[in-house]
């Protein structure tokens, strides 16, 4: 099945999709901030421009949408048009590449999925904060 939009229509549609400061991302950041965490956001000098960065602990947090980053992608990939299958597959490959690059640079990567934030925000906050705390304890 081919893409049902012209290239110009697809470009206009895709340009309206937010890739920063999404609802799930701001929810996680607000909850972290309420718990006293201080961080930087969208650090473009790091591979993949992590959504939330704890510089001193060297922890990079990515907040991934279930669709765009392909949560359990193999289970539903066949239901997509070739355009979307390729698009999401490339997103997943880029995510893996950036994860590896950050790890080689000495960073810990935490990936938080959309459904996790929507279903249990507090456990996501706890996971991020415990990772940061653990890294700070290792450095001491």
Q: Is residue 26 part of a domain?
A: yes
Chain segment 87-100, per-residue pLDDT in tens: 999 999 999 999 99
Strand bridging mode 59-64 / 52-54: antiparallel
Q: Is residue 7 part of a domain?
A: no
pTM for the full predicted model: 0.85
Q: Is residue 120 part of a domain?
A: yes
Candidates 65, 56, 55, 58; CA nearest to 28 is 65
- List of residues 6+ apart from 101 with CB closer than 8 A: 47, 48
CATH classification at residue 111:
3.40.960.10
User: Is residue 127 scored above 90 in pLDDT?
Assistant: yes
Structural domain count of the chain: 1
Residue at 59 is within a domain: yes
From CA 78, how far away is CA 95, in angstroms rounded?
21
Per-residue model confidence as pLDDT tens digits over 44-86: 999 999 999 999 999 999 999 999 899 999 999 999 888 889 9
> In the prediction, which pLDDT does 81 show?
86
Residue 43 lies in a domain: yes
13, part of any domain? no
pLDDT in the model for residue 8 = 79
22/8: higher pLDDT: 22
Residue 45, domain member (yes or no): yes
Instruction: Say if residues 114 and 64 touch (Cβ distance below 8 Å).
Output: yes
* Average confidence score pLDDT of the chain: 91
129-134-137 Cα angle (round to 5)? 125
CB-based burial of residue 23 (10 Å sphere; 0-12 exposed, 13-18 middle, 19+ buried)?
exposed
Residue 102 lies in a domain: yes
The interaxial angle of helices 121-139 and 23-34, nearest 10 deg, is: 60
Q: Residue 31 is part of which domain span? A: 18-139
pLDDT, greater one: 138 or 45: 45
């Amino acid at each position: 099945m081919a893409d049902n939009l012209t290239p110009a229509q697809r470009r206009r549609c895709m340009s309206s999709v937010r890739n920063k400061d999404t609802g799930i991302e701001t929810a996680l950041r607000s909850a972290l901030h309420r718990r006293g965490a201080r961080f930087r956001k969208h650090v473009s000098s790091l591979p993949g421009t992590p959504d939330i960065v704890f510089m001193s602990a060297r922890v990079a947090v990515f907040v991934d949408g279930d669709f765009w980053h392909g949560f359990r992608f193999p289970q539903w990939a066949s239901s997509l048009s070739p355009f979307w299958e390729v698009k999401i597959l490339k997103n997943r490959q880029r995510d893996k590449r950036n994860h590896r690059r950050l790890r080689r640079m000495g960073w810990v990567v935490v990936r938080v999925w959309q459904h996790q934030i929507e279903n249990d925000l507090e456990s996501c906050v706890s996971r991020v904060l415990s990772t940061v705390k653990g890294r700070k304890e290792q450095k001491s």
